[in-house]
Structure 1
Amino acid sequence: MLQGFQTSGKCIEKAHYRIRYMKSFRPLSIKEDIEFKEARPILYLNTAAVASLFNSRNAGSTSNRSNWSTIMSYLKSHASYLGLKQDRFTILLPSGLPDYTIDIVNGEQVKKVKVNRPKALCFDYLQLKETFGLDLETEVVAENQEEIPTESNAIDLQQFKQNELPFE
């Protein structure tokens, strides 16, 4: 579901979710950190924003609330669930664009994005990636920039050629 929203441009990084690489993580209401051997990706899910996406997808359905509460129960009981933690998320306008304020700083206009700090559902992203094939990581490339082959691209291309089709 989340992957589909992200692929279609409806689920936006920093507004609906955020991935942070952390060596330790402490959810709300837990006294001790969860320690990792190396920096691990943690998926912060802005539940209210994702719920509104889900509800808009099922507009007209009378079972939205019960479906969403079932999804929430499932998410919170999944092995990858780490707990709740507050994080900063961008507020979006109905058009899907970030909401801004314009302040005057030292006589110049400064555009600042509006954010809120809801409690986010947090998950071990690697576990979700391995279990469900979830891929929310994105990169930003300039329009005039061609992809430059890297060692990892070359390895991926080599594996693709060896296996012919990566899906069967």
Structure 2
Amino acid sequence: MGGSSGVEGDDEVERIERLIEARGLGDRVTMIPPRPHHVLSTYYRAADVCLVPSRSESFGLVALEAAACGTPVVAADVGGLRTLVDHGRTGFRVTGRDPAAYAEATRSILDSPLLADELSRHGAEVAATYTWTTMAARLRRVYADIAAQAPLDCLA
């Protein structure tokens, strides 16, 4: 589980820790505190799947990092995750907040090593296109396209 997000995130982490204890899952679930960025790839690579159940996501860096490490992603169908997670090709997107839907998508990956391998390979290929050089070139093209257009007469 990733780090918390603000005070409400801390409350959620505590709630989940209580659930783990109450349900006797301490031997199956490990809560890992936030780690330095340079060691995250070790955790991504050790995972069989990465869940990103965000309520909103402007870009989806966690999904991109997981994919770059070859870890299949199951993510919410929101924001930037719609661009990063190609449903059925690089991972799965889940509409809504239904835990059963996340479980089903996760189970399909865990039950099929062939599917997990395909998602892993395609995800890593897509992630490799998100280099600083590539993104800067894309942004430069956007600005060039805008600059090439005739200015709008806002006073007309």
TM-score, normalised to structure 2, is 0.24
Which gives a bigger RCO, structure 1 or 2 (Cα 8 Å, sep 6+)? 1
Q: Which protein has the bigger strand share?
A: 1
- Structure 1-normalised TM-score? 0.23
Identify the structure with the greater helix proportion.
2
